[in-house]
């Protein structure tokens, strides 16, 4: 049974990766200047016209790559948080890390009047600065997951109040820019945004994926994990640090996009049918979900672009309500 589940998880991860690639190709080819799939692939290979090359490589591809990487980072961090707290509602949105990244970005906008680079840097620093005290306050032998949830929810409430206050102190133009960022959007994203989140995924991603087996053992509890030879504190610190960095980098690139970190790991677990965090399938599915949501946002309202955070909020909220309703029927 364990071998069957592992094979199914690998096949599911591969299918999710192919789905993300297919959505990315469609996103690059769709728009006011439509391109077929062969034209997109030919242009990516260097055989397109000057106009096609400019549209693909300068206008559409940076946005799509940023969406793929941000979705993968959010889903991977969400899978780690849900595994650490042993609760399907564990995600950076709920535990305060996203709110901390938003606080850092708002400080950069309101206090320093910074541009896109300053906002991204502030988001990363805010997420990391939030993660450290939450981890320290939750740290104690036994019951770490429950304390992390409680401390994270409290931190999220405090930081939400701070963010609202910062918005009231901002100039009208800065406040409008901050609200758009807080909603979550991929509009206007360039290669610099993609490169920043790519560095975070390249550095923290392999380290977090390497913690997959120990995290699965940690879901049994600290004592069973110790008995299986897992260095509980080391694994927990490494996984949490990587997840905080991933969520902060995703927020810096695309804003605090809601529900991807919450929904993607749950969908991945249902598709694989395997226990544990399912890190790689979650990562691939998150990339596909965020990119698909951005495509929906660009096409849902003719003549207007709906921010991707609005789309993920609507879809993710509906999925959460469906899960609760389904659980009530089973009960």
- Residue from 193, 244, 234, 229 nearest 76 by CA: 244
- Rounded to whole angstroms, the Cα distance separating 19 from 289 reads 9
What's the mean pLDDT in 227-232? 80
- Residue from 27, 94, 8, 93 nearest 268 by CA: 8
Whether residue 286 contacts residue 261, with contact meaning beta carbons closer than 8 Å, is answered with yes
Asked whether the CA dihedral 121, 149, 181, 301 is positive or negative, the reply is positive
The number of C-alpha atoms within 13 Å of 64 and in the hemisphere containing its C-beta is: 22
pLDDT higher than threshold 80 for residue 203: yes
- Residue from 70, 111, 99, 237 nearest 162 by CA: 99
pTM: 0.88
Which range has the worst mean pLDDT, 14-23, 108-117, 195-204?
108-117
List of residues 6+ apart from 59 with CB closer than 8 A: none
- Residue from 251, 235, 239, 232 nearest 205 by CA: 239
Tell me the DSSP string of 16-54.
HHHHHHHHHHHHHH-SSS---HHHHHHHHTT-S-HHHHH
**Residue 144 in tokens:** 């770490």
- Residue from 148, 146, 142, 150 nearest 232 by CA: 142
**DSSP-assigned letter for residue 59:** I
Q: Give the pLDDT confidence of 265-277 residue by residue, as tens digits.
A: 888 888 887 777 8
- Rounded to whole angstroms, the Cα distance separating 277 from 200 reads 20
Taking the C-alpha atoms of 284, 116, 242 and 296 in order, what is their torsion angle to the nearest 10 degrees? -20
The position carrying tokens 């970005």 is 105
Q: Which CATH number goes with the domain that contains 18?
A: 1.10.3470.10
Whether residue 92 contacts residue 78, with contact meaning beta carbons closer than 8 Å, is answered with yes
Which range has the worst mean pLDDT, 128-142, 180-194, 276-290?
128-142
Phi and psi, residue 32, nearest 5°? -65, -25
SS (HEC) of 186-245: CCCCCHHHHHHHHHHHHHHHHHHHHCHHHHHHHCCCHHHHHHCCCCHHHHHHHHHHHHHH
Whether residue 279 contacts residue 209, with contact meaning beta carbons closer than 8 Å, is answered with yes
Q: Give the pLDDT confidence of 47-96 residue by residue, as tens digits.
A: 878 888 898 888 899 999 999 999 999 999 999 988 888 877 778 888 88
Mean pLDDT of the chain: 84
Give the chain's domain count: 1
Domain limits for position 18 = 2-330
Backbone conformation region of residue 91, classed left if phi is above 0, alpha if psi is from -120 to 50, else beta: beta
Q: Give the pLDDT confidence of 138-193 residue by residue, as tens digits.
A: 776 556 777 888 888 888 889 999 888 888 887 888 777 788 788 888 888 888 88
């Amino acid at each position: 049974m364990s071998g069957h589940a592992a094979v199914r998880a690998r096949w599911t991860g591969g299918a999710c990766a192919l789905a993300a690639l297919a959505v990315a190709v469609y996103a690059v080819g769709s728009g006011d200047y439509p391109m077929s799939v062969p034209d997109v692939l030919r242009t990516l290979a260097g055989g397109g016209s000057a106009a096609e090359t400019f549209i693909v490589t300068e206008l559409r591809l940076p946005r799509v790559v940023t969406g793929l990487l941000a979705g993968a980072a959010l889903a991977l961090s969400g899978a780690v948080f849900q595994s650490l707290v042993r609760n399907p509602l564990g995600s950076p949105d709920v535990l305060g890390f996203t709110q901390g990244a938003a606080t850092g970005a708002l400080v950069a906008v309101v206090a320093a009047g910074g541009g896109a680079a300053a906002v991204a840097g502030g988001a990363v620093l805010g997420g990391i600065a939030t993660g450290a005290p939450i981890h320290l306050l939750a740290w104690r032998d036994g019951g770490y997951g429950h304390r992390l949830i409680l401390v994270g929810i409290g931190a999220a409430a405090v930081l939400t109040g701070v963010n609202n206050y910062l918005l009231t102190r901002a100039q009208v133009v800065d406040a409008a820019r901050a609200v758009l960022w807080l909603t979550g959007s991929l509009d206007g994203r360039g290669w610099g945004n993609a490169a920043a989140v790519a560095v975070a995924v390249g550095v923290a991603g392999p380290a977090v994926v390497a913690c997959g087996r120990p995290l699965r053992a940690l879901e049994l509890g600290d004592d069973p994990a110790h008995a299986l030879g897992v260095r509980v504190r080391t694994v927990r610190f490494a996984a949490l640090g990587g997840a905080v960095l991933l969520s902060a980098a995703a927020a810096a690139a695309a804003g605090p996009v809601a529900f991807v970190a919450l929904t993607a790991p749950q969908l991945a677990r249902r598709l694989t049918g395997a226990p544990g965090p399912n890190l790689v399938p979650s990562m691939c599915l998150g990339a596909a979900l965020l990119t698909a949501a951005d495509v929906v946002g660009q096409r849902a309202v003719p003549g207007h672009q709906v921010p991707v955070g609005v789309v993920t909020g609507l879809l993710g909220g509906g999925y959460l309500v469906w899960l609760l309703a389904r659980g009530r029927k089973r009960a």
